Every structure is written in C-alpha cells, then in structure tokens.
Amino acid sequence: MEDLTTDAANFRNVEKGRVEMIARMTIKEWQVYINEWCTRKGWNENLVLGNMIANLHSEISEAWEEIRNGKQPNEIWYSEDNVLCYQKKLEGFPIELADLAIRLLHICEYIGVDLEEMIALKMKYNETRSYRHGGKTA
C-alpha cells in the first residue's frame, strides 16, 4: 500500500502540472488519461466488460437518486471528509454525470473504441435522419 502522505503530496504536484493540460484535452486524450489513471489505481485488474457496463447503469441510477432526493440538476456539494482522498467528496447530479462519462471513457479506451470518432460518425448519420424520426416522444 502506498504511503498516504507521499500519495497526497504527489496528487497535489500532479494537479498543479495538469490543470492547464486537462482543460484542453480531446475526448481521445481523456480516454487515454482515464485509462492510465485506472491502471495506476488498480482498476484495470481482472475487468469484466459486463461489470463495466453495469457500472455505467449504476452511475445513471445515482444521478437519478440525486433528482429524486430533491437536488437541483446543477447542484454540487461536499459530503463528509473522505480520509482516503484527502478532501471532501463531491456530490450531486453533475458529479454523477461526470462519473458516468469517466466510466464510459474508461471502457472505450480499455476495449479500443475511439469514442470521439464514433460520436462524429454517429452524428454524421443522425444529420441524415428526419425530424423526430420514428414517431417517438422525447
């Protein structure tokens, strides 16, 4: 197990150096960054794709629970101190959406899907579809 004091110091140093870089990352760069982070934190060990997909669902459910509990869609707050993370934990609907995106980008990089390319490809197709195609409601 890593020394918590050293890990906290490393976290702060990494954060200082990456803030500007992260602000300008492409979707593909986010995929690589998140997958590398997952490897460093042990999340890439013994992965099962079905479990990864189920975790996407859990993040959507957590987002829904925030709304069910009366939180506003743009509301973010901090929960009690989380000793292992050196800071209070971010909570709220937008944070759960971020968790969903992080998990999705992780899956894509892990299995070799360029999500940015797939979004462009799918939107190119969507542009050819008629107004509210299929007679579905929003």
CATH fold for the domain made of 4-128: Helix Hairpins (1.10.287)
Reduced 3-state DSSP string for the chain: CCCHHHHHHHHHHHHHHHHHHHHCCCHHHHHHHHHHHHHHCCCCCCCCHHHHHHHHHHHHHHHHHHHHCCCCCCCCEEEEEECCCCEEEEECHHHHHHHHHHHHHHHHHHHCCCHHHHHHHHHHHHCCCCCCHHHCCC
- In whole numbers, what is the pLDDT of the chain averaged over residues? 86
- The model's pTM: 0.79
Q: What is the pLDDT of residues 74-110, one digit of tens each?
A: 999 888 766 666 678 889 999 999 999 999 999 999 9
pLDDT per position as a tens digit, 8-30: 444 445 555 565 667 789 999 99
